[in-house]
Amino acid sequence: MATNPPPSAIQTVGLRKSFGDKVVLDGLDLAVARGTVFALLGPNGAGKTVTVQILSTLIRADGGQVRVAGHDVAADPGAVRRAIGVTGQRSALDDLLTGRENLILMADLHHLGRAAGRRRADLLLERFGLAEVAGRRAAAYSGGMRRRLDLAMTLIADPQIIFLDEPTTGLDPRSRRVMWDIVRDLVAGGVTIFLTTQYLDEADRLADRIGVLDGGRLVAEGTAEELKRLVPGGHVTLRFADAAALHAAAALFEPAPRDDEALTLQVPSDGGVRSLRVLLARLEDASIEVDELSVHLPDLDDVFLALTGRPRHEKVTTR
Amino acid sequence: MTALAHVLTDSGTMLRRNLRHAVRYPAMLTATIMTPVALLLLFVGVFGGALGAGLNEGRGGGDYIDYIAPGIILMAVTSGCMSTSVAVCVDMTDGIIARFRTMPVARASLLTGHVAAGVIMTSISTLAVVGAALLMGFRTSATAVEWLAAGGLLIALTFALSWVAVAMGLAAKTPEGASNTPMLIQFLPFLGSAIVPPDSMPGAMSAFAEHQPFTPLNETLRGLLTGGPIGDDAAISLAWCAAFAVTGYVWSRLLFRRDPSR
């Protein structure tokens, strides 16, 4: 036990990692306070999984410093491993073992002792709603059950810091909600959570702070509110029947961006009923006919567009 | 807990897990027993007359099963090691090894657990094949001491080949691949003195059969079980076992460290 606990559960300075010519992490600086949830947000291929792999001692960094739970991952990986729990992107279960046997295997590998390990396994089965299927082989579990068992296995030895790599990717909405509730319970219990996700709403609901990873660095970091302020915001797209109407409307809503070919105009708006009513009234007063109207609210695509200059679904290529 | 105690405890945990796998997925054990037994039936029951007659010209005496049984028993060992290769590959591709690597688990136990389980399961399948051969009329002249020596030799070979199998499992990209590569070793005894004497083979083949590792192993086993000269084949056999074990171990370690994210 450290008598003088360091302020951060996770801290990286100038973290670098390349695979051959491909630079994946290019000087990543992170600081995650104890007892908080940090979400690392990024498109596919941004380096989220590589970051988790380095922080969880799976692979070594090429450069920079990494401290997890107060220990240097390169110098003392054993101490880090005793303090962390990792749930990877794919459920890493033993399909030939039952749910209970999977948990007992984890308990044995953590040297919890026979009786204590079994008690802990049964407790977790109960807590994650798996008690009824505890005696069935993991191969027979549904996607949501596999995720829950996977997380239960991660929690077997009460880790201080938990890494969740895209914990809800591929889950149905109900299972996602269950996972979110579990994460909230864990945080209430004082653990630090480092999660990666592609979904802004997930980061929004769970995380105290969010980091946006692009090109191997953090391009933005802050609370969900702070990040949303960086986004240009919502808008209303107005489509007109002819160029004359578009011209008239453009003059009215200067400097809203217009598209002469599509005959559309993008008017900034929060998308609320009140502001829509005001917008329509202004058009009415000016006697401008609108063919079509659509409301667009800020989402992950906008965050990415704003922060990286690229839509989210475009694969990030690093230099 | 000391480092050694840690390795032993974790190896024991991994061994129990791997043995449980073998019991839960009995197809693997069945296949490693049935392949040698089927070949024994084929060679003794179908080709046995002709092969035995050809063999006995100029040598005289003895049933063909007495000639072929040691080679088939050897093949039970080489077949058994194949399942180790598949088990290791399944672990690697499943992502569960990556999970173990982020836990405070003694690294060595992840592979030694497989080798230990491989030795136990292969010993069981080999015993079953020995039993089948005896039932089919294999007559042995071996004393208790010779049986013990034969058992020791087979266990040494199993241990050595299990390390090679672990390396092959680590090298394979898919479990299918992991079951194919070891077949080269599985059928290698046939290209030695298992079925027919090497000196009956054509030139280059005969030279290969004479000097490949399974021929001295086969001759040693044959000598122990049915009498006859062993000479320096015993020493050569043990040297081959040591060579297999060291190669397999070093190769496994290299592969296991190559891509730690698996």
Q: What is the pLDDT at residue B57?
A: 57
- Mutation target to probe the B interface, by most B beta carbons within 10 A, among A108, A112, A164 is A108
Cβ–Cβ gap A108/B21 under 8 Å? no
Q: Tokens standing for A37?
A: 């949830």
Confidence of residue A309 (pLDDT cuts 50, 70, 90): low
> Is A110's Cβ below 8 Å from some Cβ in B?
yes
What whole-number percentage of chain B has pLDDT above 70?
96
Q: What is the pLDDT at residue B208?
A: 87
- Residue B205 pLDDT greater than 80, yes or no: yes
Across residues B100-118, what is the average pLDDT?
A: 93
Q: What is the pLDDT at residue A315?
A: 42
Across residues B186-214, what is the average pLDDT?
A: 84
Strand order in the sheet with A217-222: A84-87, A161-165, A192-197, A37-41, A209-214, A217-222
Q: Are A61 and A16 in contact (CB under 8 A)?
A: yes
- Residue A134 pLDDT greater than 70, yes or no: yes
Strand order in the sheet with A292-296: A258-259, A264-268, A235-239, A292-296
Query: Measured between alpha carbons, how far apart are the two ends of chain A, in Å?
Result: 42
> Is B204's Cβ below 8 Å from some Cβ in A?
no
What's the Cα-to-Cα distance from A117 to each of A89, A101, A111, rounded to whole Å?
26, 11, 8
How is residue A134 annotated by DSSP? T
Q: What is the Cα–Cα distance from B238 to B242, expressed in whole angstroms?
A: 6
Provide CB contacts within 8 A for B44, sequence distance 6+. B64, B65, B68, B136, B137
Contacts of B24 in chain A (CB under 8 A): 96-97, 137
pLDDT (tens digit per residue) in A208-245: 999 998 888 888 898 887 777 776 667 888 999 888 88
Provide CB contacts within 8 A for A91, sequence distance 6+. A146, A147, A149, A150, B95
Which backbone phi and psi does B232 adopt, to 5 degrees? -85, 5
Q: What is the pLDDT at residue A168?
A: 86
Torsion of CA B122, B124, B129, B135, to 10 degrees: 170
What's the Cα-to-Cα distance from A86 to each of A38, A48, B188, rounded to whole Å?
15, 14, 43
Nearest of A308, A218, A167 to residue A32 by alpha carbon: A218
- Residue B56 pLDDT greater than 90, yes or no: no
Contacts of B1 in chain A (CB under 8 A): 111
pLDDT (tens digit per residue) in A185-194: 999 988 999 9
> Is B13's Cβ below 8 Å from some Cβ in A?
yes
Query: A145-148: which pairs have CB atoms within 8 A and are 24 or more residues apart?
Result: A145/A99, A146/A91, A146/A93, A147/A87, A147/A91, A147/A171, A147/A175, A147/A179, A148/A178, A148/A179, A148/A182
Q: What is the Cα–Cα distance from B26 to B45, expressed in whole angstroms?
A: 27
Q: Which residue has the higher pLDDT, A236 or B118?
A: B118
Nearest of A164, A168, A204, A202 to residue A186 by alpha carbon: A164
ipTM: 0.86
The predicted model scores a pTM of 0.81
State chain A's mean pLDDT as an integer: 86
What whole-number percentage of chain B has pLDDT above 90?
52
pLDDT (tens digit per residue) in A59-82: 999 999 999 999 999 999 999 999
Cβ–Cβ gap B96/A106 under 8 Å? no
Q: Are A191 and A35 in contact (CB under 8 A)?
A: yes
Q: What is the Cα–Cα distance from A160 to B95, expressed in whole angstroms?
A: 23
Cβ–Cβ gap B103/A137 under 8 Å? no
CB-side neighbour CA atoms (13 Å) of A183: 30
Confidence of residue B262 (pLDDT cuts 50, 70, 90): low
What whole-number percentage of chain A has pLDDT above 70?
91
Cβ–Cβ gap A97/B17 under 8 Å? yes
Cβ–Cβ gap A105/B101 under 8 Å? no
Q: What is the pLDDT at residue A314?
A: 43
Confidence of residue A157 (pLDDT cuts 50, 70, 90): very high
- Mutation target to probe the B interface, by most B beta carbons within 10 A, among A55, A96, A98 is A96
Helices (H) and strands (E) in chain B, counts: 12, 0
- Residue A319 pLDDT greater than 60, yes or no: no
pLDDT (tens digit per residue) in B217-232: 999 999 999 887 888 8
